[in-house]
């Protein structure tokens, strides 16, 4: 069978030695990031910060694609070059976050649903004309007392599939992101159970709505202990449970899995990714396994930058370090 153009993009997004940078923070979310480093959240500062990352000289050596926020897709670097052109000139594929964040799910206390399907078809045409090649939609599943419920998992899986079908119709590659949050004190086994249920329902919906699995990328959580659990699982256990869960739920037709960092610390996310890829290679996993990190790639450069133009080179050096570390981890070679 001839490989489609969307399959070629999906394969390029998860190519060996590289990962995806999630730089799609909404204006409200980046406010929190900037508050942490005492930087005013202005458009000029957002342009300078994101421009510093995108202009990093060797970014294409360890980053295959960048998820942009709607604002960023149409912005220019301080040198006048559009961010889309800058990324493409470095061999990096530009993409766009298309969901409109989460709101409480009716009749489901403590659970949420992602908004943004209304008007999506028209927005996708605009994003494609502006240079986007792929998109991302995040669904959030919480673990707590008596949750997640089937209602929340089913509703979010259905929305993810509707999104993905519209995206492929528009000639773009969908990143499908069902995230089981690590917030809480739950065990790794609770995370395994919730992740397995979420992935099963998500792929049931994707298939029922005609989404072509070869033309998408999955962006899930790792199977991991809750962030405030008393005895958090080791990287080896995270690797074993994550890969085994995915072997049971993710079809081999999916080109690749790009893990989110999900609030893990920089080093934790890298060490866990390294363990997962090593375990996967020794157990015949059929997909490319890589990273799609936001904070896991950006926390260090933000601390180096601090809103000062004279710190741009230091921010780029910090970004290079995190990028190279995770590029090694996705090959199971971090620290070796």
Q: For residues 317 and 56, what is the distance between their CA atoms, to the nearest angstrom? A: 8
Residue labelled with tokens 């981890």: 329
> 25, 70, 111, 177: which one is catalytic?
177
> 18, 133, 136, 219: which one is catalytic?
219
* Distance between first and last Cα of the chain: 39
Helix (H) or strand (E) holding 135: strand 134-141
- Residue 177 designated active-site: yes
Per the CB < 8 A criterion, the answer to whether 143 and 181 are in contact is: yes
The two tokens of residue 225 are 């202990």
Size of the chain in residues: 336
Q: DSSP string spanning 64-103?
A: EEEEEPHHHHT-B-TTS-BHHHHHHHTT-EEEEE----EE
Q: For residues 64 and 260, what is the distance between their CA atoms, to the nearest angstrom? A: 15
Give exposure, 43-71, as e/b (b: 16+ Cβ within 10 Å).
eeebbbbbbbbbbbeebbebbbbbbbbbe
Q: DSSP string spanning 189-225?
A: HHHHHHHHHHHHHHHHHHHHTT--GGG-EE-------
Q: Which residues are catalytic?
A: 177, 219
């Amino acid at each position: 069978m001839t490989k489609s153009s969307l399959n070629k993009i999906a394969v390029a997004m998860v190519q060996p030695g590289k990962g995806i940078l999630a730089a799609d923070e909404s204006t409200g979310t980046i406010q929190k990031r900037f508050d942490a480093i005492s930087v005013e959240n202005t458009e000029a500062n957002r342009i300078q910060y994101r421009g510093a990352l995108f202009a990093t000289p060797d970014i294409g050596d360890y980053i295959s694609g960048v998820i942009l926020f709607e604002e960023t897709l149409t912005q220019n670097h301080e040198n006048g070059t559009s961010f889309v052109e800058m990324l493409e000139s470095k061999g990096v594929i530009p993409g766009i976050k298309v969901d409109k964040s989460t709101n409480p799910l009716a009749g489901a206390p403590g659970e949420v649903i992602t908004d943004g399907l209304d008007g999506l078809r028209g927005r996708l045409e605009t994003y494609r004309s502006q240079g986007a090649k792929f998109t991302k939609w995040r669904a959030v599943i919480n673990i707590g007392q008596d949750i997640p419920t089937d209602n929340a998992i089913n509703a979010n899986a259905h929305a993810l599939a509707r999104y993905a079908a519209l995206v492929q119709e528009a000639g773009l590659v969908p990143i499908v992101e069902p995230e089981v949050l690590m917030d809480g004190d739950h065990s790794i086994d609770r995370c395994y159970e919730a992740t397995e249920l979420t992935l099963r329902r998500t792929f049931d919906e994707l298939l029922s709505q005609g989404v072509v699995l070869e033309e998408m990328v999955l962006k899930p959580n790792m199977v991991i202990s809750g962030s405030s659990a008393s005895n958090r699982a080791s990287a080896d256990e995270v690797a074993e449970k994550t890969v085994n869960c995915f072997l049971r739920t993710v079809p081999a037709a999916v080109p690749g899995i790009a893990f989110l960092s999900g609030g893990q610390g920089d080093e934790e996310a890298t060490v866990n990714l390294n363990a997962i890829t090593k375990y996967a290679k020794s157990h015949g996993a059929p997909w490319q396994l890589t990273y799609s990190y936001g904070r896991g790639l950006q926390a260090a450069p933000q601390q180096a930058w601090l809103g000062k133009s004279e710190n741009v080179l230091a921010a780029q050096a910090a970004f290079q370090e995190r990028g190279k570390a995770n590029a090694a981890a996705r090959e199971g070679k971090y620290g070796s």
